[in-house]
Amino acid sequence: MIVRVTNTLSRRLESIEPRSPGAPILFYSCGPTVYDDAHVGNFRSFLNADLLRRTLEFAGHRVRHVMNITDVGHMTDDEIADGGGEDKMAVAGRRIADAKKAGAIPAGVEIDPRDPVAIADFYAGRFVEDAKRLGLKVAFEADSDPSLMPRPTRLIPQMISLVERLIERGFAYVASDGVVYFDVRRFPDYGKLSGNTLDALREGAGERVSAANQAVKRHPADFMLWKPDPAHLMKWPSPWGEGYPGWHLECSVMAAALLGEEIDLHSGGEDNIFPHHECEIAQSRCAFGTPSFARTWFHTRHLFVESQKMSKSRGNFFTARDIFAKGATPAALRLELVR
């Protein structure tokens, strides 16, 4: 049985196969950022990945599926690839502090709003509970092999090593503000996944990239690998000063550490295509010198509410727990999200 999907990279319907006959299909999925409960739009992407994984197994393939849980470095303005705005864990801390003041924290829940690790652990636990209720296979497998749902904070040394490698190979540089950026002009295929060009990204930079960031970059589309910031909520020592990794860097490192430098299949929501997945491809291929990062890219469309994309920033979202509280069963919600 052959399983075919529309490959975002080629824009063609293609079969999914392992790199060598009989080998497992190496599958990486972008998972949640645990600063809040995942909404059902997030779960739509996760469940489509799970459905694809189960279909591949039904077709006779073995699949090694890794889904990350992001606990650092995902900033509120990461759509511009500058690491701008505020860490979402800090946003969560304020929300929890306000809830405590209002007496809105559920009985028996103890969480320090000043401790980002405690916040991440709390919401990661809730995510895994929801994922299991919805039948996400990797969530059950992670009970016996936690590496299948990795967290970036546990691979910081590997991230620093990858940045050092990119600098040594001439693909990254330290800007005058101390931030380490990837030089997109050194990677001719940048934009291939999303259909962007460097000229178009330069022309549209005024709406996406601040003047201050444009001034220190070689190209407006250059994206952050490491940001020195000793005042940041979560920080680690590095050759470029105490700071934190770029969000895009994290997935390249986790995929390489747990699946290898080249993988067969990568999934996420369509909002991950640019800049997140575009940046993953660039830094992975340049760091490892491979002809590809993931051969097949599979993206799930947005979930809409009254003609608008469901998102936490708009406030038009429902969590899985909201839906369960209204009487829907996990099986019914799963079916509705993947159909």
pLDDT of residue 76: 63
**Exposure letters 293-317 (e unless 16+ CB within 10 A, then b):** bbbbbbbbeebebeeebbbbeeeeb
Q: Is the per-residue pLDDT at 228 higher than 60?
A: yes
CATH topology of domain 4-338: Rossmann fold (3.40.50)
Average pLDDT rounded to a whole number, residues 100-108: 68
CB 262 within 8 A of CB 164: no
Lowest pLDDT segment from 84-93, 265-274, 314-323: 84-93
pLDDT tens digit string along 111-133? 888 888 888 999 999 999 999 99
Confidence of residue 214 (pLDDT cuts 50, 70, 90): confident
Average pLDDT rounded to a whole number, residues 286-294: 97
pLDDT of residue 75: 66
Lowest pLDDT segment from 35-49, 195-209, 226-240, 249-263: 195-209
Confidence of residue 206 (pLDDT cuts 50, 70, 90): very low
pLDDT of residue 101: 74
Give the rounded percent of residues in the chain with a pLDDT score beyond 90: 74
pLDDT of residue 327: 97
Average pLDDT rounded to a whole number, residues 177-195: 97
Please give the backbone phi and psi of residue 112, each rounded to the nearest 5 degrees, phi first: -85, 115
pLDDT of residue 79: 56
Confidence of residue 8 (pLDDT cuts 50, 70, 90): very high
Structure tokens at 56: 């591949």
CB 304 within 8 A of CB 335: no
Q: How many CA atoms lie within 13 A of 107 on its CB side?
A: 0
Average pLDDT rounded to a whole number, residues 239-258: 96
Q: Is the per-residue pLDDT at 81 higher than 60?
A: no
Non-local (6+) Cβ contacts of 31 within 8 A are 46, 67, 68, 69, 70, 149
Average pLDDT rounded to a whole number, residues 213-217: 84
298: helix, strand or coil = strand
pLDDT tens digit string along 132-179? 999 999 999 999 999 999 999 999 999 999 999 999 999 999 999 999
How far is it, in rounded angstroms, from Cα 16 to Cα 19? 10
Average pLDDT rounded to a whole number, residues 283-305: 97
pLDDT of residue 211: 64
The closest alpha carbon to 96, from 120, 75, 124, belongs to 120
pLDDT of residue 201: 87
pLDDT of residue 108: 66
Q: How many CA atoms lie within 13 A of 163 on its CB side?
A: 26
pLDDT tens digit string along 29-62? 999 999 889 999 999 999 999 999 999 999 999 9
Q: DSSP letter string over 131-160? A: HHHTT-HHHHHTTT-GGGS--GGG-HHHHH
DSSP 233: S
With tokens 């947005």, the residue in question is: 302
Q: How many CA atoms lie within 13 A of 299 on its CB side?
A: 20
Q: Which segments of the chain does DSSP mark as H helices, in order?
A: 40-58, 88-101, 116-133, 137-141, 156-168, 198-203, 205-208, 211-216, 247-258, 278-288, 320-325, 330-338
pLDDT of residue 106: 67
Q: DSSP letter string over 76-105? A: EEGGGSS-EEEEHHHHHHHHHHHHHHTT-S
Non-local (6+) Cβ contacts of 51 within 8 A are 338
Non-local (6+) Cβ contacts of 209 within 8 A are 80, 82, 217, 220
Average pLDDT rounded to a whole number, residues 105-109: 69
DSSP 33: B
Q: Tally helices (H) and strands (E) across the chain.
A: 12, 14
- Secondary structure of the chain: what % helix, strand, coil (to 5)? 40, 20, 40
Mean pLDDT for all residues in the chain: 92
Q: Is the per-residue pLDDT at 337 higher than 90?
A: yes
15: helix, strand or coil = strand
Better-predicted residue by pLDDT, 95 or 220 = 220
